[in-house]
Amino acid sequence: MYHGYSCNEEVVLMETCQCEAKWEELEKIIDAHRGQPSALIEVLHQSQELVGYLPRNVQVAIADGLGLSLSQVYSVVSFYNHFTTKPKGKYQVSVCMGTACFVKGAPAILERLEQELGTKVGDTTADGRFTINQVRCLGCCALGPVMTVNQKAHGRLTPDTALEILKEYQ
């Protein structure tokens, strides 16, 4: 328990219930910067690396420890794309929506992935395996349409080939 928040307060705080150990590690991260509001981004990075995302109870603990309001912490979390308040899947699937990929069929790939995986962009599948992301440009325009799975690029895709690639990760 940390600052009155139990591990069960967030449905998926950790993959395994090592809650007390995780909270102890979180306390160490916060204690190393206690009362130092300027350390917020560093503490957020370390906390997200530990927990996997930044649920509300983690943000509350960080705010308390650094002497900030919850709204100050949340404004930084929500401003930077790197930080997330939702659990991420084991596999991050990013579909490029840059101009070259878009005109070559990326929207159809994204739509098909959403249908087949039963989730929407920015969300994670119920089994925690995949998170679908939409990105502006992956820099592989000649290979478009492109998607990455945990930063491994796959190009010249169709909706069918994109699904075949994801089968390799199941």
Which amino acids are annotated as binding site for [2Fe-2S] cluster, given as ranges? 96, 101, 137, 141
Locus of tokens 């010249």 = 156
Binding-site residues: 96, 101, 137, 141
The alpha carbon dihedral of 91, 96, 101, 104 has a sign of positive
Which tokens hold the place of 128?
């925690």
Q: Are 148 and 140 spatial neighbours (Cβ–Cβ below 8 Å)?
A: no
What is the C-alpha radius of gyration for the chain, rounded to an integer number of angstroms?
Answer: 18
Backbone angles phi, psi at 78, to 5 degrees: -80, -20
> What CA–CA distance (Å, rounded) separates 3 from 59?
11
